[in-house]
A = this chain, B = another copy of it.
Amino acid sequence: MIDKIFPDARAAIDGVRDGDTVLIGGFGEAGNPTELIHALIEQGARELTVVNNNSGNGEIGLALLLHERRVARLICSYPRGSHAHVFETLYRDGQIALELVPQGTLAERLRAGGAGIPAFYTPSGVGTALAEGKETRTFAGRDHILEHAICGDVALIKAEAADRWGNLVYRKAARNFGPVMAMAAKTTIAQVRKVVPLGELDPEAIVTPSIFVSRVVPIADPISERDHILALEQAR
């Protein structure tokens, strides 16, 4: 019987290796797999390359992973923010490498990685500092740059519900990077609020089909980043 459900986050995270590329879902406070990241911290892998739209909020999740000095390089579109002080300090101190990527290019490079497309041309970023050193080519009179796929060794994502095959549905704007990161990694690990019996998810409404998911961990009541940040602010 196919059963991708793991008992806890620590068990699910097993096997991440030093130097791995880890895709981490989430946009702002929505969709961050905080418990999986904490399990990764416990697990101990170092020198990671992390792909995430932002750079962590407050002092939990990705921010804590950065604080613990596990990340050598961050690939992201928007590492700035009112609660991004952990990253900002590391960056200013030259303790972390940053590859800045336009958000749509980041999403498309991940999808390409999942779809077996090694590279594609895009108009985004043409004529800017982020296009420097990139191959330029004209299609239909318009300049485009060549961008390469991003593949991950591991993806850590958060979804709303899963079944034992690993089919996933998300909730509202917490969907964001989850589906493309699930496609782009060798091992995709999803934390979900609930696990439902096989056949309960509507086959017309499954967003990430089981083929893209390796392991599922139920985390019924994930950490609220908002509560964490409010507590941080009150403590100051």
Contact = CB atoms under 8 A, between A and B. Distances in A.
B116 A118 contact: no
A54 B142 CA distance: 32
Given A169-B204, A204-B170, A205-B204, A118 B121 contact: yes
Contacts of A119: 120-121, 137, 139, 144
A136 interface: no
A140 interface: yes
Interface residues of A, dominant DSSP: mixed
A170 B117 CA distance: 27
Contacts of A205: 202, 204-205
Given A118-B142, A139-B148, 13 more contacts: A108-B117, A116-B122, A117-B121, A118-B121, A118-B140, A119-B121, A119-B144, A120-B120, A120-B121, A169-B204, A170-B204, A172-B204, A202-B205
Copies of the polypeptide in the assembly: 2
B116 A120 contact: no
A148 to B, nearest CB: 8
Given A202-B205, A204-B205, A108 B115 contact: yes
30 contacts: A108-B115, A108-B117, A112-B120, A116-B122, A116-B123, A117-B120, A117-B121, A117-B122, A118-B121, A118-B123, A118-B139, A118-B140, A118-B142, A118-B144, A119-B120, A119-B121, A119-B137, A119-B139, A119-B144, A120-B120, A120-B121, A139-B148, A169-B204, A170-B204, A171-B204, A172-B204, A202-B205, A204-B205, A204-B207, A205-B205
A140 B139 CA distance: 25
Contacts of A204: 169-172, 205, 207
A142 B115 CA distance: 15
Q: Which 7 A-B pairs have the closest CB atoms?
A: A118-B139, A205-B205, A120-B120, A117-B120, A119-B121, A118-B121, A118-B144
A106 B169 CA distance: 28
A125 B174 CA distance: 37
